[in-house]
């Protein structure tokens, strides 16, 4: 029999306990021996809960108990969690975590500790919730060179954007629902500002390359500034706004970004809604792959943790978790990243001022089509050609010199290389003065 402990009885920790009680027979069978939950560490009391009899408040009880071979860390954060996990690995106990902050920041050091003591440090639940993506990358695609990874890696923000897009919900209402459903981080600004996605992308690139990627090196934008009007403009080009993580991996470096982007037409990520995550991988031998499933929530994440516990149980005295080293992967300057964007421009009120502003935009950006939301007489949008971010920055600066332009309301990257088409004729109306201006 193997004894395990859970540190942190929050949403995920309680889900792991539930998974072990619900599926004990199948888990024991697959692990090859019985797994017993000996301790649950939490400073809070949970009277009447199924783990009441095994609740403890002293970490040392787990550390010093030689019978405990595998520990689940679902506390979150990088303070106590890092100290506890390091101490456990040094003692030769395997650790399974769902804590992406811990893995992104200290993964290389923790793998080294695990290697040194013959234990394992597994973290499949830290990316994509219930989607098995880390282990396939580390075992099924090892004969491939992976050149590209892109995806929706955060359930909370995808839930919010889907609710705003499909049900006209306000940002705050959708966020409260995501929090109530147990999708959000302890501090939901990590979700909203793109930091959670950024950590997950850093982990995936590190798994693929075997080198450490600092999350702080990845250009990251959140969804905090996305408005209903951004979503409406996205619809005019047959797109939806999604928070997209993208990495293009070369022999010696990586382009990596996290930003809201417009995903158009039949792009596979356009079908990923609500709490679901989708991850696209381009591999030079196996071709294109897509991973899809519930990216957040108690039981999907607990399922991924449980699978890693079973993996540890099957490899009790054998380290299988050497994922990446401390050597840093180069992250290229975002300024050289080539992309197309939908630019929303605020201009002086009135048709004449707007026409002059549009003329200027067309002169600088050579855009054939501009879009105007029917009730607005003081803003318009257009799609740029593909160009490096820094060239785009220069052209925007030039545009802002036009006296009829007040500023840029938003700049949204367009995901993928597919041609951006305007919406069907019935949704758009040409304006007689300018064949290129569509009121939508």
Active site residues: 200
Classify burial at 241, counting beta carbons within 10 Å of its beta carbon; exposed 0-12, middle 13-18, buried 19 or more.
Answer: buried
Dihedral sign for Cα 200, 204, 205, 209, please.
Answer: positive
**Residues 186-205 as x/- pattern, contact with ligand HSE by CB under 6 A:** -----x----x---------
Which range of residues in 103-111, 179-187, 235-243, 410-418 is near ligand HSE by CB under 6 A? 179-187
Is there binding between residue 156 and ligand HSE (CB under 6 A)?
Answer: yes
Phi and psi dihedrals of 60, rounded to 5? -60, -25
Give the separation between CA 281 and CA 242, rounded to whole angstroms: 17
Q: Tell me how far, at minimum, the Cβ of 182 lies from ligand HSE, in Å.
A: 9
Give the separation between CA 373 and CA 428, rounded to whole angstroms: 10
Q: Tell me how far, at minimum, the Cβ of 120 lies from ligand HSE, in Å.
A: 21
Q: Tell me how far, at minimum, the Cβ of 298 lies from ligand HSE, in Å.
A: 10
Q: Which is nearer to ligand HSE, 20 or 276 (CB)?
A: 276
By beta carbon distance, the residue nearest ligand HSE is 156
Q: Which is nearer to ligand HSE, 203 or 237 (CB)?
A: 203
Q: Which is nearer to ligand HSE, 150 or 154 (CB)?
A: 154
Q: Which is nearer to ligand HSE, 183 or 380 (CB)?
A: 183
To 10 degrees, the CA torsion angle through 158, 238, 293, 81? Answer: -30
Q: Tell me how far, at minimum, the Cβ of 275 lies from ligand HSE, in Å.
A: 7
Q: Tell me how far, at minimum, the Cβ of 100 lies from ligand HSE, in Å.
A: 6
Q: Work out which of 9, 84, 183, 365 binds ligand HSE, going by CB under 6 A.
A: 183
Name the packing angle between helices 298-314 and 24-31 (round to 10°): 30
Is there binding between residue 295 and ligand HSE (CB under 6 A)?
Answer: yes
Q: Which is nearer to ligand HSE, 42 or 196 (CB)?
A: 196
Q: Work out which of 35, 51, 184, 202 binds ligand HSE, going by CB under 6 A.
A: 184
**How many amino acids of this chain bind ligand HSE (CB under 6 A)?**
11
Q: Which is nearer to ligand HSE, 185 or 379 (CB)?
A: 185
Which range of residues in 17-25, 151-159, 210-218, 350-358 is near ligand HSE by CB under 6 A? 151-159
Is there binding between residue 296 and ligand HSE (CB under 6 A)?
Answer: yes
Q: Which is nearer to ligand HSE, 182 or 239 (CB)?
A: 182
Q: Which is nearer to ligand HSE, 177 or 229 (CB)?
A: 177
Classify burial at 34, counting beta carbons within 10 Å of its beta carbon; exposed 0-12, middle 13-18, buried 19 or more.
Answer: middle
Which range of residues in 153-161, 262-270, 332-340, 404-412 is near ligand HSE by CB under 6 A? 153-161
Q: Tell me how far, at minimum, the Cβ of 321 lies from ligand HSE, in Å.
A: 20
Is there binding between residue 223 and ligand HSE (CB under 6 A)?
Answer: no
Q: Tell me how far, at minimum, the Cβ of 159 lies from ligand HSE, in Å.
A: 7
Q: Work out which of 13, 76, 124, 129 binds ligand HSE, going by CB under 6 A.
A: 129
Q: Tell me how far, at minimum, the Cβ of 346 lies from ligand HSE, in Å.
A: 32
Q: Which is nearer to ligand HSE, 165 or 369 (CB)?
A: 165
Which range of residues in 16-24, 184-192, 262-270, 380-388 is near ligand HSE by CB under 6 A? 184-192
Q: Tell me how far, at minimum, the Cβ of 137 lies from ligand HSE, in Å.
A: 17
Contacts of 60 (CB under 8 A, 6+ apart): none
To 10 degrees, the CA torsion angle through 38, 316, 303, 133? Answer: 150
Of 133, 27, 29, 136, the closest CA to residue 72 belongs to: 27
Which range of residues in 26-34, 107-115, 178-186, 345-353 is near ligand HSE by CB under 6 A? 178-186
Give the separation between CA 29 and CA 364, rounded to whole angstroms: 66
Structure tokens at 349: 């009120």
Give the separation between CA 287 and CA 295, rounded to whole angstroms: 23
Is there binding between residue 155 and ligand HSE (CB under 6 A)?
Answer: yes
- Residue numbers at the binding site for ligand HSE (CB under 6 A): 129, 154-156, 183-185, 191, 196, 295-296
């Amino acid at each position: 029999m193997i004894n395990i402990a859970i540190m942190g009885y929050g949403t995920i920790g309680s889900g792991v306990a539930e998974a072990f009680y619900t599926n004990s027979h199948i888990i024991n069978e697959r692990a090859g021996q019985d797994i017993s939950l000996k301790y649950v560490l939490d400073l809070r009391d949970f009277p009447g809960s199924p783990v009441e009899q095994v609740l403890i408040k002293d970490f040392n009880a787990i550390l010093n108990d030689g019978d405990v071979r595998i520990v689940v860390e679902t506390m979150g954060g990088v303070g106590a969690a890092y100290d506890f996990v390091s101490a456990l690995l040094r003692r030769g106990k395997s650790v399974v975590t769902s804590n992406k902050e811990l893995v992104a920041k200290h993964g290389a050091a923790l793998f080294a500790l695990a290697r040194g003591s013959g234990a394992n440090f597994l973290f499949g639940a830290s990316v994509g919730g219930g989607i098995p993506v880390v282990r396939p990358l580390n075992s099924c695609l090892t004969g491939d060179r992976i050149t590209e990874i892109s995806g929706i890696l955060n359930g909370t923000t995808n839930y919010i954007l889907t609710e705003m897009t499909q049900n006209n919900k306000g940002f705050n209402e959708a966020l409260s629902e995501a929090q109530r459903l147990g999708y959000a981080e302890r501090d939901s600004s990590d979700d909203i500002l793109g930091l959670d996605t950024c950590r997950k992308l850093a982990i995936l690139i590190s798994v693929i390359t075997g080198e450490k990627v600092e999350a702080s090196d990845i250009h990251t934008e959140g969804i905090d500034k996305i408005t209903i009007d951004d979503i409406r403009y996205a619809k005019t080009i047959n797109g939806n706004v999604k928070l997209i993580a993208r990495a293009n991996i070369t022999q010696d470096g990586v382009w990596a970004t996290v930003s809201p982007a417009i995903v158009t037409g039949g792009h596979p990520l356009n079908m990923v809604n609500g709490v679901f995550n989708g991850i696209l991988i381009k591999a030079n031998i196996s071709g294109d792959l897509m991973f899809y499933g519930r990216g957040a929530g108690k039981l999907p994440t607990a399922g991924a943790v449980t699978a890693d516990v079973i993996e540890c149980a099957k490899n009790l005295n054998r380290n299988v978790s050497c994922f990446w080293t401390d050597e840093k992967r180069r992250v290229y300057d975002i300024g050289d990243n080539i992309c197309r964007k939908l630019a929303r421009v605020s201009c002086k009120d009135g048709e004449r001022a707007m026409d002059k502003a549009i003329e200027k935009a067309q002169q600088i950006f050579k855009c054939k089509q501009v879009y105007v939301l029917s009730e607005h007489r003081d803003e318009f949008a257009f799609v740029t050609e593909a160009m490096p971010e820094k060239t785009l920055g220069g052209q925007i600066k030039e545009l802002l010199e036009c006296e009829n332009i007040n500023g840029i309301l938003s700049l949204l990257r367009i995901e993928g290389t597919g041609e951006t088409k305007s919406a069907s004729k019935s949704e758009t109306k040409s304006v007689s003065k300018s064949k290129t201006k569509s009121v939508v």
